Amino acid sequence: MPTDKRGKTETLVHGISASQGIAYGQSFLYLQSDVEVPSYQVEPEKRIQEIARFDHAILVTRQQIQKIMSEVDKNLGPEEAQIFDAHLLVLEDQA
């Protein structure tokens, strides 16, 4: 791998961008792990409870996104906070 002027290793990352252009800056790899999602059957008598649990998770997640959106709006501005509108739309998708 090539190194920059400071002797640090550079890594080229390929992916799909959200917008055109080139980004230059420091990046952080927050988590590097494979997430295993458990699969299980819900007993017929517990389906209503499971749906309620899911609905509650959606509600809590919506509140968390709205809180983050508010903080970003306050600290960085409304344009930067707009990305969270997309998160809310994904959350509301019935598909």
**Domain locations along the chain:** 45-92
Query: CA-CA distance, 45 to 27, in Å (whole number)?
Result: 47
Quick one: the chain helix, strand, coil %, rounded to 5?
Answer: 50, 0, 50
- As a whole number of Å, the CA-based R_g of the chain is 20
Q: What pLDDT does residue 23 have?
A: 67
What is residue 16's predicted lDDT score, i.e. its pLDDT?
Answer: 67
What are the mean pLDDT values of the chain's consecutive 10-residue runs (95 residues total)? 62 69 69 82 96 96 96 92 93 87
Per-residue pLDDT tens over the stretch 5-19: 666 777 777 776 666
